[in-house]
């Protein structure tokens, strides 16, 4: 058995604390772009009880007027990519609620 293969298979690559590149990329844009940050904060503030602020944000970014122009990050990661760890994004949104 090749030790490199063994090490690779048991090693989980992290992207600055995020599970996937896509999660990291989306979080980076949300936290560092004024428009995206304000949109995310509004989704947190105006989410209905039981509604996921992250799901609301994704819907805002993929449907209607905004979605026609901003369906992905400037790096090309779709807001609704299956590679995004939604649990990590929900935690990020919760941090926005508490004044990140």
Instruction: Note whether residue 1 is domain-resident.
Output: no
Pick left, alpha or beta for residue 76 (phi over 0 → left; psi -120 to 50 → alpha; otherwise beta): left
Pick left, alpha or beta for residue 17 (phi over 0 → left; psi -120 to 50 → alpha; otherwise beta): left
Domain count, the chain: 1
Instruction: Note whether residue 67 is domain-resident.
Output: yes
- pLDDT of 2 > 70? The answer is no
Pick from 42, 34, 38, 26: which is nearest to 80 by CA?
26
Distances from the Cα of 29 to the Cα of 2, 9, 73, 84, angstroms: 39, 30, 7, 13
Mention every residue, 6+ apart, whose C-beta is less than 8 A from residue 80: 58, 61, 62
Question: pLDDT tens, 5-57?
Answer: 444 444 456 778 898 999 999 999 999 999 999 999 999 999 999 999 999 99
Instruction: Note whether residue 5 is domain-resident.
Output: no
pTM (predicted TM-score): 0.79
Mention every residue, 6+ apart, whose C-beta is less than 8 A from residue 12: 19
Instruction: Note whether residue 58 is domain-resident.
Output: yes
What range does the domain containing 50 cover?
A: 18-97
């Amino acid at each position: 058995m090749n030790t490199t293969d063994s090490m690779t298979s048991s090693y989980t690559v992290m992207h600055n604390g995020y599970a996937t590149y896509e999660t990291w990329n989306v979080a980076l844009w949300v936290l560092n772009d004024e428009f995206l940050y304000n949109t995310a904060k509004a989704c947190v503030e105006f989410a209905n009880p039981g509604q996921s602020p992250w799901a609301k944000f994704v819907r805002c970014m993929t449907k209607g007027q905004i979605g026609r122009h901003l369906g992905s990050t400037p790096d090309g990661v779709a807001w609704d990519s299956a590679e995004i760890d939604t649990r990590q994004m929900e935690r990020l949104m919760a941090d926005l609620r508490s004044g990140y």
